[in-house]
Chain A
Amino acid sequence: MVTKEVVIANRAGIHARPAAMIVKVANKFKSDITFTKDDEVVNAKSIMGIITLAATYQTTLTLKAEGPDEQEAVDAISNVFERKFEEE
């Protein structure tokens, strides 16, 4: 299992388009990938799940992957966050 803290760097937070981007990347991997915010856990392969997290600007999420390609998955997804979802 690999975990990493990611911070929302774009001002609009995770709305539909960033969520779709995350899901697109997450779906390339076989591992089970989740985001945790406070006590809520959602599947990183579910658009509705990620949007309902209500992750606003500067929120910290815990990204967790478990499976055969866990490290690659965490690297690829955190990279999407670092690029601010190509928004700014």
Chain B
Amino acid sequence: MKKFTVLDLLDLDLKENDALSLKCVAGRQGLGKEITLSYLDRPGLALIGFFDDFTYQRIQIFGKRESSFIQKMEKENNLENIEKFFSYQIPCCIFSTGLHPGEKIKAIASKAQCPLLETPLSSTELTRRLARILGAVFAPKQTIYGVLVEVYGIGILIQGKSGVGKSETALELIERGHRLIADDIVEVRNVYGNSLVGRGNNQQLAHHMEIRGLGIINITHLYGVGAVRDQKEIQLVVNLEEWDNNKEYNRLGTDDITTDILGIQIPSLVIPVKPGRNIPIIIETAAMNERLKSMGYFSAKEFNRRSIQWLEAKNISSFYNNEHKFGEE
């Protein structure tokens, strides 16, 4: 896995209730330090001089209490613990609630090449957001070849060989009012151990598509912001493949077929492509059927149940129709 550094943390493109609003106030030389753990630490005990089991590899959060404590030590010129604290290889320290580290602290941190960051967020909110963000950064991930679209609120990953018409299918879905998340390269993360979130691996180049004969097009500019999304949970995998007359395709749809991605089972379909088959409409229908299933109605199984019921009813009525025979006996 690629190293995740403090600079990468500052560089993350986070919006609204994910924003960390971090800025670096000292120790810039250490911005290349790697963050290896998603856990956070409040360094209160270390600051009073208790360094046993000090989890220095974690990001250190300075809230109001830690901050006023080091201010006091700075005033008393009692910097021994602080110097010892920064002698550990700490990835970075974050001062919450708009607190500022004092000049002496900054000097010590700069000498130790430990970045000091500031944020206006409260410690609680910062901890909550950081845990969520770092959880996503350190989640198992994989890049997958395919197109990710959102159809009727369902995240659908369209896969298939080069030239089978993935991008064209996605384009028609966009034209019909659905959304594009990523074309060709989808970065997939197993976020909470049970959900799979996909996005483009480069936010600057996302929302562009390559269409044979047209070249590269910008979906946001052509279809508006309503036609794109940054990320989406993958709920269905659709495999497009050339129609093969010798292959058996699923005719009933009563079985639950799934694809394993990063250890998560995602419902999947194989849709054979041939001229005259309108794939986008089939995908739209698959999306609605998937919604129906999640609401507890499984069309194919329900159909099967009804046909069995009907056969039973027929059986019974034929029994009554032949009743006189029993009476005669």
Binding site for B on A (CB under 8 A): 16, 27, 38-43, 45-49, 51-52, 54
User: Are A41 and B143 in contact (CB-based, < 8 A)?
Assistant: yes
Other-chain residue from A27, A38, A47, A54 in contact with B210 (beta carbon distance below 8 A): A47
User: Are A52 and B200 in contact (CB-based, < 8 A)?
Assistant: yes
User: Are A43 and B202 in contact (CB-based, < 8 A)?
Assistant: no
Cβ of B208 within 8 Å of any chain A Cβ, yes or no, is: yes
- A39-B1, A42-B143, A45-B163 known; 5 new pairs, CB 8 Å cut-off, are A27-B162, A40-B201, A46-B184, A48-B209, A52-B200
A-B contact count (CB 8 A): 44
Binding site for A on B (CB under 8 A): 1-2, 143, 145, 162-163, 183-185, 200-202, 205, 208-210, 216
Of listed B1, B2, B143, residue having the most chain A CB within 10 A? B143
Complex formed: what's the CA distance from A40 to B145 in Å? 11
Complex formed: what's the CA distance from A39 to B216 in Å? 26
Complex formed: what's the CA distance from A46 to B208 in Å? 13
Would you call the interface of chain A mostly helix, strand, loop, or mixed? mixed
User: Are B216 and A47 in contact (CB-based, < 8 A)?
Assistant: yes
Complex formed: what's the CA distance from A43 to B145 in Å? 7
Pairs across A and B, CB under 8 Å, 7 listed: A16-B216, A39-B2, A42-B145, A47-B184, A49-B145, A51-B205, A52-B185
Known: A43-B145, A54-B202. A48 touches B1 (CB 8 A): no
Of listed B2, B143, B185, B208, residue having the most chain A CB within 10 A? B185
User: Are B145 and A48 in contact (CB-based, < 8 A)?
Assistant: no
User: Are A46 and B205 in contact (CB-based, < 8 A)?
Assistant: no
